[in-house]
Each structure stands twice: as structure tokens, then as C-alpha cells.
Amino acid sequence: MTNPTPGLLFSDDLSAPEVFSTGAAGFGLLLGNVVITFESLRYNHDTPPRQPTRTVNLRLVLPVQSAQLLVLGLNDYLVKQGLDPTAAMKGDATAN
């Protein structure tokens, strides 16, 4: 893990919420912040037919610079795992 703010201590709160999402539903720019809306596929088992529904389960808001660092860090991590995002852009995405 990299520390984008050298000199500041990092505290790992093990009680922080953890959210599983199946995708990003959309992106927005609001007052100098990047807004990412995440979604999860969910099933309603009460009503047939049981079709999945895309349900918003998280909205993440980051200052632009933090969003840019997130993109760079995630790209670097995926490349090191053999899941280069440029391959996905070419239609050669690797399922893991």
C-alpha cells in the first residue's frame, strides 16, 4: 500500500464498513469532487420471475486529486496481478 501523504500516520480501522459491488453505475463531477455510484445485482425472491435488479449500494465522493491517485494506484495493482486494464480496453479482458 502506498501512502499519498508521507509523514501522516495510517490507522487501519477494522470496524470500517466493507461493501461488495458488482459494478460502477455512473460517474459525476460535483464541486471539484468525483462522485462514483456503485451497484449490486440483487434478486427479489418474493415475486416470479426472479430477475436480477441493478440496485445502488454505495456512492463514493472523492476530491479530484484523490480520484486520480485511486485510478493510478488501482491500475498499478491490476497490472502487477496480470490484469492490465489496457487489455480490457482492447476487448481482451481477463477473468480472474
CA distance 40 to 77: 23
- Series of mean pLDDT values for 10-residue runs along the chain (96 residues): 74 94 97 98 86 94 97 96 88 62
The answer to whether 50 and 68 have CB atoms below 8 angstroms apart is no
Cell of 51: 430477475
Per-residue pLDDT, 79: 95
CA distance 43 to 25: 17
Per-residue pLDDT, 5: 73
The answer to whether 83 and 96 have CB atoms below 8 angstroms apart is yes
Delimit the domains of the chain by residue range.
Answer: 23-89
Instruction: List, as one string, the DSSP characters of 66-93.
Output: HHHHHHHHHHHHHHHTT--HHHHHTT-P
